[in-house]
A and B are shown apart, each in its own frame.
Chain A
Amino acid sequence: MEAIARTEKRPLWSRILRRIVILVAMGIALTQVARLWNYFNTGADQSEILFRTIEQIKRSPSVVEWADTQPEGAFFDNYSRDLIGERYGEAWQAWNNSLDMHRTEFLRDYFVDSLVIRLSDIDRGLQVRRVVLRHHLVPVLFSVDKQVIVFRDEGLDIRREIWRDGILMAEDREQCDFLVVMALTEGRWLVQHMKKLDDTFVPSAKPDDWEGAVPVWSGSDDEQLEVVLDAFSIGVNYYPRYSPWTLFWDQYSADTTLRDMELVHNLGFRAVRFFIPYYDSRDPVLAEKMADKIFSFLSIGHDAGLYMMPTLFDFPASYEITDFPAFNHYLQSVMEIIEAFRHVVIVDLKNEPDLDVSVYGNEKVERWIDFIVEQARVQFPEVPLTIGWSDPSVAHHFAGRLDAVSFHFYGDADQFDAKLSDLRTKLDEDTRIVLSEYGRSTFDPLWFPIGHSAQDQLTYVASIFESSRAAGIGTFVWCLYDYAVMPDEVFGWKPWIRGPQSRFGLVDQYGIMKPAARLFVD
C-alpha cells in the first residue's frame, strides 16, 4: 500500500518522463541488438568468395602485349595471340592471388600438376602481395599444330610486399625475364614450364631518393603551361550546381556544361579545374560511358576557350598494392582521352593525398604517388603533371618529379604570404607554383557562430588573389556555385559540415552572383 501511495504521489510529468526514458532505452537496446544481428549475418559466404576470386582472376588488369615478331614454327595469328596472352595474364593473377589469399585451388586452371604442386608450397605465415602491370611477350616457338608455345616474358616489373602477422616485413621491386612453355591441354592453355631467366631486386627507396629519378616534362607546350600558371591566369574549380561531387558524372549533362562554361568565360576566368573520380575502367560499359562524358566536357571547355586542369583519382578505393593494376588501367583510360586535348594544360593526379595519410599511413600514400607519377610519366611523357596538396607545408613532396607544385589554402589570409614563402624555401627557384583551391564559405545562419558573409568572402578572395598575383602564381578559386544538393556519402549528415561546404560558390544556388564574382569580371 505504501508503494502504491508513493506512485500516486509522483507528479504527472515525472511519470511521463520516466516512460519516455524507458522507451528511448528500449529503442537503443533494440537498435544495438539489430546491429549485432546484422553484423553476424553479413559478409561473404564461401561460394561468394570463390566467385569473387574467379572474377578477380578473369578481370586481370595486367596489360599483355606481344612483340610483333613471328616465332619458329606455325604462323602466330592474332586469335592465338589474344587467347594465349589472356590465359597467361590470368595465370599470373591466379598465382599472385594464391600468394596473397593462400587459395591455391585456382592454380589448376592455369598450370600443369607439377607446377601446381610447386606453386602450392607456400608459407602460410606470410602474405605476399604482388602485382605485375605489364607482360611483354616475345614468341619463340609455336608448334606447327598450334598446340605448344614457347615465349619469353621480358622486362617484368614485379612490385612485392611481404607481410607477416599484419606487419610489413619487406617491400621491393623485381625486374626479371621469364621463359614460358604453354600447351593446349584438354582444350585449355596451361603453363607447362616457367623459368626465371634473369632478375634484379630493387629495394624500395625513400621518396627523397625518387626525386629526379624520372626526367621532368619538357614538352613543346611549355608556353601554354606558363600561361595558365602565371599571375594573370585566373581559374575556378567546377562542379555543376545541382550535381556536385559524386553526382557530377552520374548526372552529366552537356547542356548544363555548355551553359556553365559560358558563365565561367563571362566571369573572366581562363581556366577550369574539375574532377574525374576513380571508377572501374575495366568495366567496358562504364568505361565507354565515362569516356564519352569526359570527351564531351573537354570539348565544350575547348570551344569556350578555357584551359582545363582535370583532377584524377578522386575518391580512390584504396592505396593497396594489389589494386595498382586497376589504378594503372584507370590512368591509361582517362589519360588517353585527356592527351588529345591540348587545352588541358596540366593534370592534377590526386586531390589532397596528404589528408589520406592519417587513414592509410604515410608509406602507402607515398608509394602510391610514386607509382602513379611513374606510370603517368612513362606512358604519357608529354602531359604535365601536378598533385593538389591540401596544405602548403607538405606541397614540396615529389616536387622534383612534377611540372608544378599545387596546393590549397583556406587559412587566414594574412598567413598566406608566410606560408607561400615557407614553401618557396623548400623548392628550386624556378619551380612553378599554382594555388589550385582557395575560397571562403558564405554560410552564415544564426546558429552558426563562425560563419562569413558574402562581403567577407569578397575580402578574403580579393586578398589571396592579390597576394598570388604579387607572388606570380596562378589561382583557382573554390568554387563556381553554391550547391543545393550535397551527397551524403561525401559529407555525412552533420549540418555544420554540409552547410559551409555548400556555400563556397561565387554564384549562389539561385544563379545570383555574389560580390566576389565581380572581382574577376572586372
Chain B
Amino acid sequence: MRSTVEYMIATILMILCVACGGDYQSEAPTVSSDSPEGFIRLVDTIFRVGEPVHVGLQGAGCLLVTSSWHERFLCPEGDQRASFQLPETFNQTAGKLHLALYEGGRLLDRRIIAVVAGQPYRKLAGYLGPKTISVDRGEIAQLIAIPTDRYYNLCEDSTMIEVTQVSLESSQNTSYLSTESGVAYAYFEPMTRAGEVRIGAKTGTAAMRSKTLLYTPGIPGRIRVYKAEGQTFTGEQRETTVVTEPMTDRFGNRVTDGLHMDFVVTGARGGTSIIQATTANGVASAVIPNPDLGGEITVLARVPGGTTSNTLAINFLPEITDFIVSLDPGNEWLKIGPVVNTLRSLVADGTEVELAFTIDGEKRVRKFELINGMLDLFLASIPGLYENGGCDVTISSITKEIRWKQ
C-alpha cells in the first residue's frame, strides 16, 4: 500500500516535470548528499519494475547495489560516472534498492530507491485444495490466487481478483477477492448437488488456468435391501443374492461408485457373518451361500459408521423332504434313492449321505455322496457295522433308521 502511494507521488512528480518542459529522467541530480569525498546522485527515487534506473556518482568510490536478491559492485569510470544505468536484474526486482558508495572499505554515501511491483501479468498462479469434497461432510475447499508481475514479483496488496464458478448446468457465479499479504483466497463450501464445478480467476490481463472442483455425493440417506430371487432352498451349492435399492444421499444425489458397504448376515442359530461389497451405479449386492438347514436368516446392509438398512428376513426351505432307502434280505446292500427334491427333480450330484452306527458304544459316521440321486452301499465292506442292530442314514437333516433283517 505504501509503495502504491509512493508510486502515485512519483507519477505526479513526473507529470509536473514534463508539464514544466523538463525531462524527469534528465541527468540533473535531484537528490544528492553533501559528502565531500563522494556521493550518489539520483534522478528519481521511485521506479516501476522494468523501467531503467539511472544513477550518478560524484567523487570517489564504487557503488554497492543491493536488492532483495542480489548484490553488485559497480565501479564506472570517466564520463560514465555522471550517469549510468543499473543492470537489468535490479530494475526487475520489486522492493528497495540500497545503494552504498564505498571507498577503501569506508562508507561514503547511502541512498535508497523504491522499485514498485508491476501489474499482474499473464499467468495468475492458483492453488485449489482439496480438489474433491463431499456434499454432506462439512468439508470445504480453498482457492489461493497469487498475482505476480512479469518478473514474478508479488503484486501489491489490494489487487482485485475476479473468481468465476461454472457448474455443469452452466450456472455461473462470480465473486471478487482482494489480495492481502500477497495472496487472495476464497472458500468453497458444500453444495447440495454433486458434480464438477470449474473455477477460474483473473485479474487484469492475467488469468489462472481453470481448476476443477469435484463435489462428490454423500453417504446414502436411506438403504433398503431385498432378495433378488424368489423361492429359496437349503443346500451348500446354492446361493442367494441380496441387493440394495438404488441409493442416494440426503440431497438426492446417487451415491458414488465404490462406496464400501457391509452386509451383516445372521443365521437361524444366531451366528453372524459380514460380507463386504461396494456400490456400482448406486447399488450394492451380496451373494450369500445358502445354509444347510432350513430356517430363517436375516440380512441388513450398512455403510460403516453411517446409515443402516432395513432388516431382511429370508426363510430357507429344506431341499429334501423324504427319500427312499431299502436293504437287501442278506443285509449286504443298502440302496438309497432315487432322491428327489421339492421341485421333483433329482438332487445334485455330490449331495452328502451320512451313515451313522455304533461300535463298542462309540458312535461312528461314514460319509458318501449321491450320484444321479442314487447310492448303492456294500455294507459288508464296512468293518464293525453289523455289531449292533442297525444304522442311521441321513440326507439333508432327514434321518432314517435301518434295522438289520434276521
Contact = CB atoms under 8 A, between A and B. Distances in A.
A169 B105 contact: yes
Interface in A155-185: 162, 164, 167-172, 179, 181, 183
A203 B185 CA distance: 40
A170 B107 contact: yes
A141 B129 CA distance: 13
A122 interface: yes
Interface in A116-148: 118-119, 121-123, 125-126, 128, 140-141, 143-145, 147-148
A150 interface: yes
Given A123-B73, A164-B73, A170-B100, A148 B181 contact: no
Given A144-B130, A195-B95, 12 more contacts: A126-B73, A141-B181, A144-B142, A145-B130, A147-B127, A148-B129, A162-B71, A167-B105, A170-B107, A179-B181, A193-B146, A194-B68
A145 B142 contact: yes
A210 interface: no
Given A118-B69, A123-B71, A148 B144 contact: yes
Contact of B69 (A119, A145, A201, A203): A119
Contact of A193 (B141, B148, B185): B148
A192 B154 CA distance: 10
25 contacts: A121-B70, A123-B72, A125-B73, A126-B73, A128-B71, A140-B181, A143-B129, A143-B185, A144-B129, A145-B141, A150-B181, A162-B71, A164-B73, A169-B62, A169-B64, A179-B182, A193-B152, A193-B154, A193-B182, A195-B68, A195-B95, A195-B153, A196-B68, A196-B95, A201-B100
Contacts of A162: 64, 71, 73
A143 B127 contact: yes
Nearest to A147: B129
Contacts of B183: 141, 150, 181
B315 to A, nearest CB: 51
Contact of B72 (A126, A172, A193): A126
A183 to B, nearest CB: 7
The interface residues of chain B, by DSSP majority, are classed as strand
Nearest to A146: B129
B311 interface: no
Contacts of A122: 70
A179 B153 CA distance: 12
A164 B64 CA distance: 12
Given A145-B129, A148-B129, A148-B144, A195 B71 contact: no
A73 B105 contact: no
Contact of A121 (B62, B89, B95, B181): B89
A152 interface: yes
B73 A141 contact: no
A143 B187 CA distance: 10
B110 interface: yes
Interface in B130-156: 130, 140-142, 144, 146, 148, 152-154
B198 interface: no
Interface of A: 72-73, 99, 114-115, 118-119, 121-123, 125-126, 128, 140-141, 143-145, 147-148, 150, 152, 162, 164, 167-172, 179, 181, 183, 192-196, 199, 201, 203
B250 interface: no
A118 B142 contact: no
Given A118-B152, A193-B148, A201-B110, A123 B105 contact: no
Contacts of A152: 181
A90 to B, nearest CB: 18
Contact of A143 (B72, B142, B153): B142
B152 A114 contact: yes
B185 A141 contact: yes
B111 to A, nearest CB: 11
Contact of A195 (B98, B125, B154): B154
B73 A203 contact: no
- Closest 6 pairs between A and B when the two form their complex, measured CB to CB: A145-B129, A196-B68, A144-B142, A145-B130, A114-B152, A195-B154
A168 B106 CA distance: 11
Contacts of B94: 195
A122 B89 CA distance: 10
B120 to A, nearest CB: 13
Nearest to A142: B142
Nearest to A113: B152
B122 interface: no
B24 interface: no
Contacts of A172: 100
B102 interface: yes
B96 interface: yes
A196 B182 contact: no
Contacts of A196: 68, 95-96
A148 B96 CA distance: 27
A327 B111 CA distance: 33
A371 B21 CA distance: 53
A193 B141 CA distance: 22
A114 B130 CA distance: 25
A193 B182 CA distance: 9
Contact of B141 (A144, A148, A169): A144
A358 B25 CA distance: 51
Contacts of A192: 125, 146
Contacts of B140: 144
A138 B153 CA distance: 21
B162 to A, nearest CB: 20
A147 B66 CA distance: 32
A99 B67 CA distance: 14
Contacts of B95: 195-196, 199
A200 to B, nearest CB: 10
A121 B88 CA distance: 11
B35 to A, nearest CB: 14
